[in-house]
């Protein structure tokens, strides 16, 4: 009788748990362009993911959010890491499903004015010139637009909006060229406000904040076996500490995840983002705005 060692038995069990992909699963990240940058920013994550699941993953570079969605629909990519606004459109276009949420602490938007401004509430911004981040950004466009609407200001014609970078908007606010900026609050504080030595942090005042936004997330193409999706979800959550450390190890833009958790997430958690699309005039959320 052949004796199977404990290690071998475990390997066999792991192989059985994950139906094998012929050449490994393809993985894309929507906000990272080029294979070299993918390997730099997400290589440690991929290695940790492979160790946790026993599966092989290969990076699939995409040039845009639309390219990621088209690749999912054509079954040329299997898994994608993306943001809330992107997921809502990708889900509509491809029926991709949620796998795991990558939570971001203090991930919310806000409206900021100068401390000496006469503006004390979003309603005071009616008819004024304001700045927001890139068109289609969850925290820099959709969320600030929803905040305005929540306070009775139509974001489409109730204010004059310019879309620009946070750094440009920050300087324009200080000069008085605009009345307010709608921004990812934590990124603005850590990346611009606290590094601006020309004025103290108290020179700015927040007039409105949103609730926390839905998580960034890993999604699976509709063609991926649901059993594989469930198993990957289970192993990622079960090995979350190692995977989180891998994500944070590269620093840079991944620092936005510092203090993160990996959590099971349901599609309905993104209904608020769908409402935001309606607020900016895209109730079908069937295409990426600004692209």
Are the C-beta atoms of 59 and 28 separated by less than 8 Å? yes
Exposure on the CB side of residue 108, measured as CA atoms within 13 A: 12
Residue pLDDT tens, the chain, 291 long: 333 333 333 333 333 344 444 469 999 999 898 999 999 999 999 999 999 999 999 999 999 999 999 999 999 999 999 999 999 999 999 999 999 999 999 999 999 999 999 999 999 999 999 999 999 999 999 999 999 999 999 999 999 999 999 999 999 999 999 999 999 999 999 999 999 999 999 999 999 999 999 999 999 999 999 999 999 999 999 999 999 999 999 999 999 999 999 999 999 999 999 999 999 999 998 888 877
Contact residues for 123 (Cβ-Cβ < 8 A; gap 6+): 151, 152, 153
The single residue listed with the structure tokens 């959709």 is 142
Cα–Cα distance between 200 and 193 in angstroms, integer? 8
Residue 147: what pLDDT? 97
167 - beta bridge partners?
Answer: none
Residue 16: what pLDDT? 39
Helix (H, G, I), strand (E, B) or coil at 181: strand
**Two tokens at 37?**
């940058």
**Two tokens at 92?**
């509509």
Q: Report, in angstroms and rounded to the nearest whole number, the Rg of the chain calculated over CA atoms.
A: 21
**Two tokens at 139?**
């925290």
Is the entire prediction scored with pTM above 0.95?
Answer: no
Residue 23: what pLDDT? 63
Backbone angles phi, psi at 18, to 5 degrees: -115, 105
Are the C-beta atoms of 232 and 115 separated by less than 8 Å? no
E-only strand ranges, the chain: 25-29, 57-59, 79-82, 97-102, 109-114, 129-132, 160-163, 180-184, 204-209, 216-220, 262-263
């Amino acid at each position: 009788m052949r004796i199977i060692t404990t290690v071998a038995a475990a390997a066999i069990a792991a192989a059985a748990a994950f139906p094998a992909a012929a050449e490994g699963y393809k993985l894309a990240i929507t906000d990272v362009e080029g294979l070299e940058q993918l390997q730099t920013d997400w290589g440690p994550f991929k290695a940790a993911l492979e160790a946790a699941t026993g599966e092989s993953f290969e990076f699939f570079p995409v040039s845009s959010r639309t390219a990621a969605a088209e690749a999912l629909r054509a079954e040329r990519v299997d898994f994608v890491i993306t943001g809330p606004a992107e997921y809502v459109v990708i889900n509509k276009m491809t029926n991709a499903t949620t796998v795991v949420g990558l939570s971001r602490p203090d991930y919310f938007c806000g409206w900021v004015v100068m401390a000496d401004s006469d503006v004390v509430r979003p309603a005071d911004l009616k008819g004024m010139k304001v700045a927001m981040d890139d068109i289609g950004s969850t925290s820099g466009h959709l969320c600030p637009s929803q905040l305005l609407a929540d306070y009775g200001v139509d974001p489409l014609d109730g204010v004059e909006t310019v879309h620009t970078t946070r750094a440009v908007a920050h300087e324009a606010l200080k000069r008085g060229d605009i009345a307010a900026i709608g921004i990812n609050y934590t990124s603005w504080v850590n990346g611009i406000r606290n590094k601006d030595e020309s004025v103290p942090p108290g020179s700015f005042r927040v007039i409105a904040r949103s609730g926390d936004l839905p998580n960034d997330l890993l999604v699976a193409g509709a063609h991926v076996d649901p059993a594989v999706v469930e198993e990957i979800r289970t192993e990622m959550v079960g090995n979350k500490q190692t995977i989180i450390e891998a994500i944070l190890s590269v620093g840079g833009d991944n620092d936005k995840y510092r203090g993160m958790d990996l959590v099971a997430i349901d599609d309905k958690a993104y209904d608020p983002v769908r409402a935001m699309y309606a607020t900016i005039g895209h109730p079908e959320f069937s295409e990426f705005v600004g692209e």
